[in-house]
Structure 1
Amino acid sequence: MLKRITAALLCLTILFSFSGCGKNEPKNANKKFNYYLASEPKTLDPQIASDSAAAVAVEALFEGLVRLGADNRPYPGVAEKWVGSENDTVFTFTLRSSAKWSDKEKTPVTANDFVYAFRRALSPQTGSPTCSRMFCIQNAREVNAGTVPADQLGVTAPDAHTLVVRLNYSYPDFPAITAAPVFMPCNQKFFESTSGRYGLEIKYLIGNGPFEIDGKYGWSHGQYLSLVRSDTYAGKQKPLPSNLKFTVQNEDNAITDPVDALKSGTVDAIAVSGSQAAAAQAQGGTITSFEDTTWGLCFNTQSELMKSKNIRRAFIQAFDRAKVLQHLPKNMSAANDIIPPSTTLLGKPYRSLANGGSYFLKQDKNAAALLAAGLNELSLSELKSVTVICPDDANVKLMLNEMIASWNVQFHNYFNMEPLPEDQLASRIQSGDYQVALCPVQPAGDGPLSVLSLFKSSEKNNPAKWKDPAFDAMLDSAEKNGGADSAAIFANAEKYLNEQGVFYPLYYEKHYYACAKGVTGVVFHPYGAGVDFIQAGKE
């Protein structure tokens, strides 16, 4: 009898424990989510990952000191708390003791994993394309240049769960930028065991994030990346989804109608155009948007003709801006500056700190004289044919027609327009196969430096192929100066870029992201910096 009573009590205990779990778990949890990646991630190594596809995958597989919410503000990641001191030039992060890696041993994540990751990201041998975000850290720039040893970097680990970061200047919002992939931890022992193949295959990767790759067949290159909720993750927020399926878009599975893909369940979230955003919202979806891209006239400063500042300025100042902007593409707004209006510096609006804007070159009735001066400098007797490449958009073509009409009248010549699909437009600009282009400038992150550094001499993807030591020196000075005082230096660099006639701002583009009806909690980051699914739910 005693055995029967004990067994009955045990059954009731188990029954009620399961019932309790069900009550505590949200109804929209444990769902599968589908998301398309525009391309195959080049690597899943956070310290060198720079493409947008990798940013999405890395955010699911890894976790930095903090995570960013829908308001772009930080909340606890591996660090359960942090405090700034010495006028926010020193930050002390306390790591949660439950943080673990996804290896078989479930190795604890320690402060030394962050010290090693930061040093490795800044090492000249690593060649990280994103490590400039770390230059606010004491001696980071010098470590990256190879002039100071890595152990002099302003990052230390007093114990396994304490990380201290010393900065070059006061930066109250420093914790927020540590959510970026380049700041994520790296286990030195595992990294060294991969012999240079870290992040390239499943067996050469361990993470510490809310999700992990689903078994040995979870990553099929060029096809998909299949993730499941990690059983080693013990962060502040339990991951809601049970599975994430990142399909790599290719010719066989390309989505031609994003709105229909949302409705059919092919995807649960996707990037859409401005016009498609309205349709997605009409069928019950939710929309997130960011005005983070500036379109304008960009001049190839290495071409025979456009290497002349006077000629570039002549083309810019010959047309009537007001008439051109009458033909703005749909869902776009006029751009007065190269740096988008939403840009912040040290957590504050950049434009207010810079005390100015609208630096674009104004119309000049003497534009023809500028052209003549430029031709004379180049020892050219006449203006050769000029072609402007641009997106194949009806409104853009109307804008360019207005410009060309003005050029025809003032320069007494004939000018060509070559509309292209956006992928071909991007390829031509990257290769330098153009004279003038109407093209986008989209930074990889927030801040004036992210925009302006695209035009540095050392930038491989510099759209204007511009090399100007004076401009480079301005940006270097702003970086070294740091703090709010750097706003004035950035403003001067922005003015200089306009005055040199390198890039002329015309309009801002918003990027739109849609979630299907019933989908909640998906967080999109601006500047193509990734998508967070940790709290994604589905009714």
Structure 2
Amino acid sequence: MPFHKSARLAALLLAAVFLPLTCSGCSLPFQKQDGDGSGYLFTTSLPSNPKSLDPQSATDASSKTIIENLYEGLMELDETGTPQPAAAESYTISPDGCTYTFVLHNDRYWFFDENQNDEIDDGEKWAVTAADYVYAFQRIFNPETQSPYTDAFSCLKNAQAIQSGQADYTTIGVQAISSTQLQFTLDHPNTRFLSLLATTAAMPCSQNFFEQTKGRYGLDQDSVASCGAFYMRLWFYDPYGKDNLIYMRRNAANTPARSVSPTNLTFQIRNTQQAAADDFAAGNADVLVTPIQQTQYTDSENYTTTAERATTLGLIFNPDFAAFHNANIRKGLSMGINRFAIGKNSNDDLKGAFSIIPPAVQYNGSTYREQVPEAEAAYDPNAALTTFQTGMQELHMESLDSTKILVCSALMDCDNLHDIIQTWQEVFGFYIGIDEVTEDEYWQRLASKNYSIAVYGITGSANDPAAVLEQFASDTNTFYYENASVDTQIQALGDCSSSAQLLTQCSQLEQTILSDYWFLPIFYKNQYCITSTKNADIAYDAFSGALNFRNAKHFE
């Protein structure tokens, strides 16, 4: 496979000149086939430039959206959150649950349009093989990659030894039996393993192509090859410019094996969530993904809105504030929240939360909350006051006056916090204010611990109960929570050999965290995906934030 960067650069400059004239706007169909909704050019806006299109490294929603459309992995999740084969034709699991053997489809290909003529020329197409998956997992465990996904796949054979420096990353338990047979060997059974293989981290990586990018893999359009529904035609980003976009075309190398409805995708790159929302309002984008309820769309028959309670909003405390190190103060504040009454004026955007795992999380074919109902503790203002006063007496303090709740305006409508503040004033006799800030300031204030109490959103990196609870791990969370017992229980989630065992351990871990009162659940929050009723079958993952357009259709 040749790779000539000078030719690619010239093509980039030409594309940057001409593509905005032909691709802007979301109302321009391209080779539309009447009746079946295919052949449309979809346009949407990303709230930020993708940080990396390297599946083994990428974590942000903008990156994952592009990766979902650029690659195809062994497995994917269906609408119930159940793993289904994608690039895999079939798989078997050994009786002990420690060996997974996959047979790959033999009609999946990599494509890199080197000369940018939108045709498959000699050397631009090559087969996806089992070795590409082996190399991807070796990269996850290669220290040079600094992948954030080593813990997720720590169930693989030799993973622990590699992480401790006692074994080489090439010994990870993944091997190619043949070009179309792939085998994973686990140190212990993990009932989540198939779901993990449906994440972007488990996408394949072509070693030959990777090495030719010379350290630029996933960082520019010359350094990404497609094995999925679409291929990269242009990635143009100037932090000081405004015509930033990613342009993708249907991957003809793979459409004979698995159909793709749209012909083109245009992703306008913006710098804020509000700018992306403005594009949609102006009719310049087909899809809007937002955490903020948009009644002008949700109340209109011209739009289709998917709303999923995928985030739990809770109160977190500054660990440097002595008052909040007292468990009775934190517990008293929690008991003083009437979760049955809050959120009723939010037009169903918010619902009072008693637990951590939000209602949208699915597991084993149904929602987690159907299998593990949350314990709805009764609101008890007298007990709340007694508990709170005990804590204050232990610290020889009189009140928490002048305390404010830090909240990001892009996270929720802050007016809904007034129900909590008013109840606290009635129960405890003090008033706590609201400090509403922009998203940038919010994260800066959290990082510098410039807050006393803050509203924080918890969601999983994937649609999985364990993925939600893993956000509380001491070495990865960004809100300074530390609990050795919680860390041990999180680690044990990777050792579950059955669905029943995972549900039991998730339930126990959830209760451990709740009983610590460092995170006080207050609301289950909707995440929204909005599109015109003319569009259909745009897949949205409310947890990763990714959009997948493989089956997306448009009807006039």
Deviations 1:98-135 (A, max 9, x none): 32222352222110110110121133332222343323
The yes-or-no answer on 1:512 pairing with 2:528 is: yes
> What's 1:31 paired with?
40
Unmatched runs of 5 consecutive residues or more in structure 1: 1-21
- Describe the shift of the 1:433–1:286 C-alpha distance in structure 2 as closer, same or farther (beyond 3 A): same
> What's 1:42 paired with?
51
CA RMSD of aligned residues (A): 3.3
- After TM superposition, give the deviation of residue 33 of structure 1 in Å: 0.9
> What's 1:232 paired with?
253
The yes-or-no answer on 1:521 pairing with 2:537 is: yes
Counterpart selection for 1:311 from 325, 329, 336: 329
Counterpart selection for 2:425 from 376, 394, 405: 405
> What's 1:428 paired with?
445
Q: Is the 8 A contact 1:277 1:287 kept in 2?
A: no
Q: Is the 8 A contact 1:321 1:363 kept in 2?
A: no
> What's 1:534 paired with?
550
TM-score (norm 2): 0.81
- After TM superposition, give the deviation of residue 241 of structure 1 in Å: 1.6
Q: Is the 8 A contact 1:361 1:498 kept in 2?
A: no
- Describe the shift of the 1:485–1:330 C-alpha distance in structure 2 as closer, same or farther (beyond 3 A): closer
> What's 1:456 paired with?
473
- After TM superposition, give the deviation of residue 70 of structure 1 in Å: 4.5
> What's 1:475 paired with?
490
Structure index of larger Rg: 1
Q: Is the 8 A contact 2:47 2:276 kept in 1?
A: no
- Describe the shift of the 1:335–1:319 C-alpha distance in structure 2 as closer, same or farther (beyond 3 A): closer
Deviations 1:164-201 (A, max 9, x none): 12345555664443231100011122223333221112
> What's 1:84 paired with?
93
Describe the SS at the equivalent of 1:42.
coil
Q: Is the 8 A contact 1:124 1:145 kept in 2?
A: no
- After TM superposition, give the deviation of residue 325 of structure 1 in Å: 5.4
- Describe the shift of the 1:391–1:54 C-alpha distance in structure 2 as closer, same or farther (beyond 3 A): closer
Q: Is the 8 A contact 1:361 1:499 kept in 2?
A: no
1:252 and 1:506 map into 2 onto residues whose CA distance is 24
Q: Is the 8 A contact 2:341 2:352 kept in 1?
A: no
- After TM superposition, give the deviation of residue 27 of structure 1 in Å: 4.5
2:170 and 2:518 map into 1 onto residues whose CA distance is 40
Q: Is the 8 A contact 2:273 2:290 kept in 1?
A: no
1:351 and 1:320 map into 2 onto residues whose CA distance is 21
> What's 1:363 paired with?
380
> What's 1:284 paired with?
302
Unmatched runs of 5 consecutive residues or more in structure 2: 1-30, 115-122
Q: Is the 8 A contact 1:38 1:53 kept in 2?
A: yes
Q: Is the 8 A contact 2:306 2:529 kept in 1?
A: yes
- Describe the shift of the 1:281–1:245 C-alpha distance in structure 2 as closer, same or farther (beyond 3 A): farther
Describe the SS at the equivalent of 2:334.
helix
Counterpart AA for 1:335? A
1:513 and 1:248 map into 2 onto residues whose CA distance is 18
Matching of residues 290-439 of structure 1 within 5 Å: 290-324=308-342, 330-345=348-363, 349-351=367-369, 354=372, 357-358=374-375, 363=380, 365-368=382-385, 370-371=387-388, 373-375=390-392, 385-390=402-407, 393=413, 395-406=415-426, 408-409=428-429, 413-421=430-438, 424-439=441-456
Q: Is the 8 A contact 1:292 1:510 kept in 2?
A: yes
Deviations 1:128-156 (A, max 9, x none): 22343323434434434434433443322
Q: Which moved more, 1:328-337 or 1:40-49?
A: 328-337
Describe the SS at the equivalent of 2:39.
coil
- Describe the shift of the 1:309–1:211 C-alpha distance in structure 2 as closer, same or farther (beyond 3 A): same
TM-score (norm 1): 0.83
> What's 1:56 paired with?
65
User: How many residues are aligned here?
Assistant: 507
- Describe the shift of the 1:259–1:117 C-alpha distance in structure 2 as closer, same or farther (beyond 3 A): closer
2:219 and 2:267 map into 1 onto residues whose CA distance is 16
Describe the SS at the equivalent of 2:382.
coil
2:506 and 2:82 map into 1 onto residues whose CA distance is 24
- Describe the shift of the 1:148–1:424 C-alpha distance in structure 2 as closer, same or farther (beyond 3 A): same
1:252 and 1:531 map into 2 onto residues whose CA distance is 15
Counterpart AA for 1:469? A
Counterpart selection for 1:488 from 482, 504, 515: 504
Describe the SS at the equivalent of 1:466.
coil
Deviations 1:252-284 (A, max 9, x none): 9924557634xx3x1112125675367357343
- Describe the shift of the 1:370–1:428 C-alpha distance in structure 2 as closer, same or farther (beyond 3 A): same
Q: Which moved more, 1:279-288 or 1:236-245?
A: 279-288
Identity, in percent, stands at 25
> What's 1:10 paired with?
none
Counterpart selection for 1:114 from 113, 123, 133: 133
1:68 and 1:351 map into 2 onto residues whose CA distance is 19
1:281 and 1:322 map into 2 onto residues whose CA distance is 25
> What's 2:215 paired with?
196
1:145 and 1:304 map into 2 onto residues whose CA distance is 36
Q: Is the 8 A contact 1:329 1:396 kept in 2?
A: no
